[in-house]
Amino acid sequence: MGSDTRTRFLDAGTQLFRRQGYSATGVKQLVELGQAPLGSLYHYFPGGKEQVALEGIERAAGRYEVLLERVFARYPDVGDVALAWFAMAATALRQSDFRDGCPIGTLAGEVAVTHDALRDAGRSVFTDWQRRVAARLREVGLSAREARRLATFAVASLEGAILLARVQRSTNPLTDTGRVVAETLRRAVSNTGD
C-alpha cells in the first residue's frame, strides 16, 4: 500500500513533467494525480517536487537501460538497434497523442540552467546512454574515438527528433532521422572491414 502510493506519485510526476513541464507542475497537481494526501507526498519525498523529479529520472533511466540492453541483445546490426529505438519513441508519441516525449530530455532541457540537481541527473543519464552505445560500437570494430563520436551523435539525433516530432505533431522526424542514423552507423561499421 505504502509503496503503491510512492509509485503513484512517481507516475504522476513523470507524466506531468514530461507533458506540461517541471515549472508548470505544482505540488497540488502531483497530489491530485497521485490520489494521496499532501502529507503522504512529503512523507515519501521529503524533498518535495524536486525529489519526485529526481527519482522519476532515475526510475526512467533504469527502465531505458533494460530496454536498451534488450534491443542490443535482439539486434546484432547497430542500424537495426537505431531503427528499433527511434520506432519505440514514435510509438510512445503516437499512443500519447504526441504528449509523451523523452522524460529525461524534456525535463532536463527545461531546467538545465535553473536546477543543478536535475540537470546533473539528466547529464548522468545521457552520459550512460552514450557509453552504452559507444561500447556496442567498439564491440563491432570501431575505434574508441569513432565509437564515442557516433554514440553522442546517435543520442543527440534521437533527442532532437523527439523534440521535432512533439512540436510538429508527426512521427516523420523520427522516421526520417532514424533512417539516416541507422545508415550512418551501418556505414561506419562496414568501413572497419575495409
Among 8, 59, 94, 99, binds a copy of itself (CB under 8 A): 99
Tally of CB atoms within 10 A around 35: 12
Between helices 116-139 and 144-168, what is the axis angle to 10°? 120
79 vs 105 by CB, closer to a copy of itself: 105
> Interface with a copy of itself by CB under 8 A: which range of 50-58, 64-72, 75-83, 104-112?
104-112
Among 66, 67, 144, 180, binds a copy of itself (CB under 8 A): 180
Q: Check binding of 114 to a copy of itself (CB under 8 A).
A: yes
Backbone angles phi, psi at 61, to 5 degrees: -60, -40
Q: In this structure, are residues 119 and 107 in contact, taking their beta carbons and an 8 Å threshold?
A: no
Q: Name the E strands within 58-123.
A: none
- Give first-to-last CA distance, the chain, whole Å: 59
Q: Check binding of 14 to a copy of itself (CB under 8 A).
A: no
Binding mask 127-156 for a copy of itself (x = CB under 8 A): x--------------------xxx-xx-xx
Burial grade of 2 (CB within 10 A; 0-12, 13-18, 19 or more): exposed
> Interface with a copy of itself by CB under 8 A: which range of 6-14, 34-42, 61-69, 109-117?
109-117
CA distance 108 to 111: 5
**Interface positions, 51-80, toward a copy of itself (CB under 8 A):** none
Given the C-alpha cell 535553473, which residue does it identify?
A: 114
Given the C-alpha cell 527545461, which residue does it identify?
A: 110
Among 59, 132, 179, 186, binds a copy of itself (CB under 8 A): 179
- The one-character DSSP state at 36 is S
43 vs 187 by CB, closer to a copy of itself: 187
Applying CB under 8 A, which residues contact a copy of itself?
A: 19-24, 98-99, 101, 105-106, 108-114, 119, 122-123, 126-127, 148-150, 152-153, 155-164, 166-169, 172-173, 176-177, 179-181, 184, 187
